[in-house]
């Protein structure tokens, strides 16, 4: 018996489009497109699909979270710098009530103190922090498993 397909939105926020430009920085040498390809391949191997999107604009991310209400089974979100400030994203995630996992590519607890609290954590089932770009893939794996339970 085959499992029903799982549809995920993977959303990346402010400045994540700059990944890979400074290989010596906290985000490494992989570009966001490299990360998207990795997520799509892993999802396909799990019998899932990924709609990978990026925006620097909070309202666009809110719109996509709301779209996930009818178009996705779950959300992986790396809101970038909006992770630390956006009550709008928190409210959207809470209102949509889809399982979501938050990703931070860098270890936020080794960075500035303001990064130690992200409001979005109140509306997600878990966080993957500091494991590099592979954190996106891990989030896809964990979310597919969670949805199928």
Active-site residue list: 27, 104
Is residue 83 a known part of a binding site?
Answer: no
Is residue 76 a known part of a binding site?
Answer: no
Distance between CA atoms of residues 148 and 145, nearest Å: 5
Is residue 107 a known part of a binding site?
Answer: no
- Cβ 121 vs Cβ 90: under 8 Å: no
- What single string gives the DSSP state of each residue in 45-87? HTTEEEEEEE-S-HHHHHHHHHHHHHH-SEEEEEEEGGGGT-H
Q: Which residues line the annotated binding site for substrate?
A: 78, 91, 105-106, 115
Q: Which residues line the annotated binding site?
A: 78, 91, 105-106, 115
């Amino acid at each position: 018996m085959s499992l029903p397909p799982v549809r995920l939105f993977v959303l990346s926020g402010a400045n994540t489009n700059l990944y890979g430009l400074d290989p010596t920085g906290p985000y490494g040498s992989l570009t966001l497109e490299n990360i998207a390809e990795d997520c799509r391949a892993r999802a396909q191997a799990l019998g899932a699909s990924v709609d990978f999107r990026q925006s620097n604009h909070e309202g666009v991310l809110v719109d996509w979270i709301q779209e996930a209400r009818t178009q996705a089974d779950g959300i992986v979100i790396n809101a970038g710098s909006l992770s630390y400030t956006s009550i709008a994203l928190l409210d959207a995630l809470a209102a949509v009530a889809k399982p979501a996992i938050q990703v931070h590519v860098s270890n936020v607890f080794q960075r500035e103190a303001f990064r130690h609290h992200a409001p979005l954590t109140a509306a997600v089932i878990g966080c993957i922090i500091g494991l590099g770009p592979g954190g996106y893939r891990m989030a896809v794996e964990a979310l597919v498993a969670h949805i199928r339970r």
